[in-house]
């Protein structure tokens, strides 16, 4: 099984801050990685696919990068509506989610 | 518009089975897209359970659930089912169906809470 390790598990930032979340795979997964946003009580929403491609309709302040085992998700200018938990998900071998990163406003 | 509507909340006793339905609409059920099942225990992260192809019915399950989970579909009603057997308290979770390709899910159902309690 491929394990996905996200860090940090939670963070607190000011509106307008640049927020960065990392995701590490237990083996090389090329660019087989997606990022999701989940707001409390809601279903997840796909934001980024294939490591760096923005899903249609997703604001451009969200971005993703990386390949191999190390990936980064960035919010360039945190907005109040971005309060959520973010998950990475690999699809190189079946599907596995990371543990999640809860983003809060300071 | 694409919609996935799931069945209602369930309460089950340990050892029982549960069957959750997911009715799709707004697109052609048996074309390219797959249906994933993902669950989330209270206060925990997301766990991928498996995937079914509505066109041919082929399935792939997460190894840790293999033998306990069965996914089926009814093309006449555009509905996918997920059955989980030998329930324990650790299966208490919100269960989501989601449409996507084999590698992603971009349309999600509203979730079904399954509570396992004696």
Tokens of B47: 């766990």
Q: Which residues of B touch A44 (CB under 8 A)?
A: 38, 46, 96, 98, 105, 108
For residue range B59-96, list pLDDT tens digits in order.
999 999 999 999 999 999 999 999 999 999 999 999 99
Please tell me if residue B111 touches chain A, with a CB cutoff of 8 Å: yes
pLDDT at B32 over 90: no
B45 → chain A, closest CA residue: A99
Distance CA A70, CA A65 (A): 9
Q: Mark yes or no for CB contact B105/A99 under 8 Å.
A: no
| pLDDT, average across residues B84-112 | 97
- Taking each continuous run of H as one helix and of E as one strand, the counts in chain A are 0, 11
Strand partners, B3: B25
Contacts (Cβ under 8 Å, ≥6 apart) of A41: none
Residues of A with CB under 8 A from a CB of B: 1, 32, 34, 36, 38, 43-46, 49, 55, 87, 89, 91, 94-100
Task: Write down the residue that tokens 């707001």 correspond to.
Answer: A39
Average pLDDT, stretch A40-50?
A: 97
Two tokens at A53? 């491609």
Q: Which residues of A touch B109 (CB under 8 A)?
A: 43
Q: Does the structure show a pLDDT above 90 at B31?
A: no
**What integer is the mean pLDDT of A51-78?**
98
pLDDT exceeds 90 at position A66: yes
* Closest by Cα among B42, B64, B59, B54 to B111: B42
Q: Where are the beta strands (DSSP E) in B9-111?
A: 10-12, 18-25, 34-40, 46-52, 59-61, 69-74, 79-84, 93-100, 107-108
């Amino acid at each position: 099984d491929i394990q996905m390790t996200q860090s940090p598990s939670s963070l607190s930032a000011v509106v307008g801050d640049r927020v960065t979340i990392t995701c590490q795979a237990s083996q090389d997964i090329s660019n087989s990685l997606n990022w999701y946003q989940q707001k409390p009580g809601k279903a997840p929403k796909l934001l980024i696919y294939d490591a760096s491609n923005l899903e249609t309709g997703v604001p451009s302040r969200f971005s993703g990068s990386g390949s191999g085992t190390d990936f980064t998700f960035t919010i360039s200018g945190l907005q109040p509506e971005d309060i959520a938990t973010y998950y990475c998900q690999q699809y190189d071998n079946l599907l596995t989610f990371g543990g999640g990163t809860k983003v809060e406003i300071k | 518009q694409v919609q996935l509507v799931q069945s209602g909340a369930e309460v089950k006793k340990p050892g029982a089975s549960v069957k959750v339905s997911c009715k799709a609409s707004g697109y052609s059920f048996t074309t390219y897209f797959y249906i994933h099942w993902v669950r989330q225990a209270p206060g925990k992260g997301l766990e991928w359970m498996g995937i079914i192809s509505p066109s041919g019915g082929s399935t792939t399950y997460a190894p840790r659930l293999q033998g306990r989970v069965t996914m089926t579909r009814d093309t006449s009603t555009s509905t996918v089912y997920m059955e989980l057997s030998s329930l324990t308290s650790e299966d208490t979770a919100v269960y989501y169906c989601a449409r996507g390709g084999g590698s992603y899910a971009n349309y999600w159902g509203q979730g079904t809470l399954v509570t396992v309690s004696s």
